[in-house]
Amino acid sequence: MVLSSDLIARVDAIFANMDKPGHPGAGLLVIDRDEIVYRKCYGLADLETQRPVTADTSFYLGSISKQFAAMAIMMLAEQRQITYEDRLTDFFPQLPSWGADICIRHLLHHTSGLPGYLEFFSSAANVFEWAREINGVTNEAVIERTMNLAGLQFPVGSQYFYSGIGYTLLAMIVAIVSGQSCGGFLKERIFDPLGMKNTVAYDQFRPTRHKLAHGYFLENGRFERWDYPMLTVGDGGLFSTLNDLFLWDQALNTERLVPRAALEQAFTSGKTNDGTPVDYGFGWYTNVSSFVTAAEREQLRTIGADRGYVAHGGSCVAYFNYIIRLLDTQRTVLVLTNCGPITPASQLHLGGIPSPRIQAHHVAALLFAVNGEKRTV
């Protein structure tokens, strides 16, 4: 499959503001079934040395890491080492009594009532002070603070609330059950078998990150370097490359890691106690239409996303990423960037540049849809 020069030019134009001298960059990967339709890198991984972004540059994935933690849980469930109905207190007996009401499925679907955890460690508004205060935070530190919670935000299963604690606890469950760190489990059971040789979980062992894209954010008209400070795994913590994530995407089209019936659970929305869908599966959003723009909803319609898709973003100060997978047609668009605003609050534009979510949806609409019909480029 070969893209026309016109389509290539139109795709590249989406990233034109990043593809210029002295600017942090991005990596774009477009997949159609088992084929890379387009793979292009823009801008710089290191402003100091002028090292460009390449397909084997590693980026911090942020919350895209959640799909890997969920896969580890699914693999253990398939081996009957755990069940989705196992309770938190089965693994963490030191938790308060509210832990007995939460099961693994609640953690996966973000219906546990647990909050985020970064506020446990810092309330600083200044990004440098905030990074200093959360520097070196581990999963163990998170659960220590979690044990001090007097109660949950809402009754278990009654609502959806996106919880970093939940996925950190899932990673710790993987470690308890497998007898090795979650990072070690991911390497042995997922990364190495799939050939993802440059993907690591950046935990307390501080593994080497391959050709790292340094993070930058714009402040007072200039880019400031920002080094990722944490050591938590589960809700985030992974560093990976375009090349490795192609291998991950391909595995999700097969039964190499778990049977298809198990994988379908990951791509199916959970529900609250009264049966209301929460639009989140196991590490994947199953419906983003409630928080995207009207233009993006139209783009989703024209690429056939209304027939089935999953997506997820991942961000932290200077890294902003997004992946969308069209399930029925096995098409994927992935954008990784090392450029962010001074605060994570601005999700639509990063210093005047459209966010990776907008970029990914735009690319998908260009390549996979025309006049409402899916394009066969």
With CA atoms as reference, report the closest residue to 51 among 60, 41, 61. Answer: 41
> CA separation (Å) from 35 to 55, 90, 247?
15, 43, 11
By the 8 A CB rule, do 192 and 248 touch?
Answer: no
**Is pLDDT of 323 > 50?**
yes
What is the average pLDDT across 101-116?
97
**Highest averaged pLDDT of the listed ranges 16-20, 222-226, 242-246, 370-374:** 242-246
DSSP reduced 3-state for 342: coil
Map tokens 């308060």 to a residue: 96
CA–CA separation, 337 and 317 (whole Å): 11
State the Cα angle at 153 between 272 and 321, rounded to 5°.
75
By the 8 A CB rule, do 28 and 363 touch?
Answer: yes
**Is pLDDT of 359 > 70?**
yes
**Is pLDDT of 342 > 80?**
no
By the 8 A CB rule, do 322 and 355 touch?
Answer: yes
CA–CA separation, 63 and 315 (whole Å): 7
**Is pLDDT of 373 > 80?**
no
Higher pLDDT, residue 365 or 64: 64
Higher pLDDT, residue 70 or 295: 70
pLDDT confidence tier of residue 352, bands split at 50, 70 and 90 = low
Q: Which two tokens stand for residue 130?
A: 């905030």
By the 8 A CB rule, do 210 and 160 touch?
Answer: no
Paired residues of 35 in beta bridges: 32
Residue 353's pLDDT is 66
**Domain at 134, CATH number:** 3.40.710.10
Phi-psi region of 227 (alpha: psi -120 to 50; beta: other; left: phi over 0): beta
CA–CA separation, 106 and 102 (whole Å): 6
Higher pLDDT, residue 344 or 20: 20
Percent of the chain as helix, strand, coil, to the nearest 5: 35, 20, 45
User: In degrees rounded to 5, what are phi and psi of residue 334?
Assistant: -130, 135
What is the average pLDDT across 255-273?
96
What is the average pLDDT across 146-154?
95
| Pairing outcome for strands 215-219 and 339-340 | parallel
With CA atoms as reference, report the closest residue to 312 among 298, 333, 328. Answer: 333
pLDDT confidence tier of residue 289, bands split at 50, 70 and 90 = confident
**Is pLDDT of 349 > 70?**
no
Q: How many domains does the chain have?
A: 1
Domain carrying residue 321: 5-374
Model confidence, pTM? 0.93
What is the average pLDDT across 14-36?
95
Residue 31's pLDDT is 97
Map tokens 């939460």 to a residue: 102
**Highest averaged pLDDT of the listed ranges 1-5, 46-50, 352-356:** 46-50
CA–CA separation, 77 and 105 (whole Å): 11
Residue 345's pLDDT is 41
CA–CA separation, 361 and 33 (whole Å): 18
Residue 106's pLDDT is 98
Amino acid at 178: S
Q: Tell me the pLDDT tens digit for each residue of 173-201.
A: 999 999 999 999 999 999 999 999 999 99
Q: Tell me the pLDDT tens digit for each residue of 28-74.
A: 999 999 999 999 999 999 999 999 999 999 999 999 999 999 999 99
Residue 293's pLDDT is 77
For the chain, the average pLDDT equals: 91
CA–CA separation, 206 and 223 (whole Å): 26
Q: What sections of the chain are H helices per DSSP?
A: 5-14, 66-78, 88-91, 104-109, 118-121, 127-134, 139-146, 164-178, 182-186, 192-194, 242-251, 260-266, 294-302, 356-368
Paired residues of 337 in beta bridges: 26, 320
Residue 226's pLDDT is 93
CA–CA separation, 339 and 34 (whole Å): 29
What is the average pLDDT across 282-304?
81
> CA separation (Å) from 18 to 15, 202, 337, 356?
6, 27, 9, 12
Per DSSP, the residues of 284-320 read: SBS--TTSS-HHHHHHHHHTTGGG-EEEEEEEETTEE
